[in-house]
Amino acid sequence: MALSEEKQKQIVDAAIAEFQEKGYAGASMDRISCRANVSKRTVYNHFESKDVLFSAIIQRLADRLNAALEIAYDPDRPIRPQLERLAWAEGDLLTDPDFMKLARMVMGETIRDPELAADMNSRMTKTAVFEEFMARANADGKLHAPDPQLAAEQFLGLIKSQGFYPRIFTDAPVSREEMAGIVDRSVEMIMKSYGRE
């Protein structure tokens, strides 16, 4: 990692801690520079304002989500294990304490600011990944999902309603064991609704 990238990471990590502790309105660029162990000038050289810094945090969250969900439909494999793999791509994130802390902090601010929520939503590709998967499985005859967008939203909704929303206001994410049950139940529901096997 280049020195400049390393400094940026230090600053973003410090900003995440600051925003989690103080909220967006109460966060201070002075305290962020202290937490990052860099000068205030260095912070402003990398991020010209608190808004720009918060946008970098949103991008980090989006990058983690989007990278985790780089899963393509494979016409040569049975559908159920592919649905399980897709569900676990989401489940792996929801069992990660660092990811959940970041998501909790960002969600708190997006509730306050609808424009911020729209910006965050535009950077996330997860629903599109699920939708494309459902569309390809439908075209291939492995699923009967004439409305792939609806099927994708339902699949994600099953996972998040059990593994994300109940935990967003608590300190502990779901365990791997709990997530295994959530994945099994969610896949079973999708197979009952859309499966051809």
Which tokens is 118 given? Answer: 């729209």
> Does residue 19 form part of some domain?
yes
Q: Are residues 26 and 79 located together in one domain of the fold?
A: no
Count of domains in the chain? 2
Lowest mean pLDDT among 6-15, 65-74, 77-86, 89-98: 65-74
Q: What is the pTM of this model?
A: 0.78
Model pLDDT for residues 91-119, shown as the tens digit of each residue: 988 998 878 877 777 777 777 777 776 77
> Does residue 137 form part of some domain?
yes
Q: Are residues 111 and 33 located together in one domain of the fold?
A: no
Question: pLDDT at position 97, please?
Answer: 85
Q: Are residues 33 and 77 located together in one domain of the fold?
A: no
**Can you spell out the DSSP letters for 108-163?**
HHHHH-HHHHHHHHHH--HHHHHHHHHHHHHHTTSB--SSHHHHHHHHHHHHHHHH
Q: Are residues 118 and 152 located together in one domain of the fold?
A: yes
Name the β-bridge partners of 143. 195
Q: What is the mean pLDDT of residues 128-146?
A: 94
Q: Are residues 42 and 71 located together in one domain of the fold?
A: no
Cα angle 30, 14, 59 (rounded to 5 degrees) comes to: 115
Instruction: Look up tokens 């592919």; give the residue.
Output: 82
Per the structure, the complete domain to which residue 99 belongs is given by 58-194
Q: Are residues 40 and 65 located together in one domain of the fold?
A: no
> Does residue 53 form part of some domain?
no
Q: Are residues 6 and 31 located together in one domain of the fold?
A: yes
Q: Are residues 71 and 32 located together in one domain of the fold?
A: no
Q: Is the pLDDT of residue 121 over 70?
A: no
Question: pLDDT at position 125, please?
Answer: 58
Q: Are residues 24 and 76 located together in one domain of the fold?
A: no
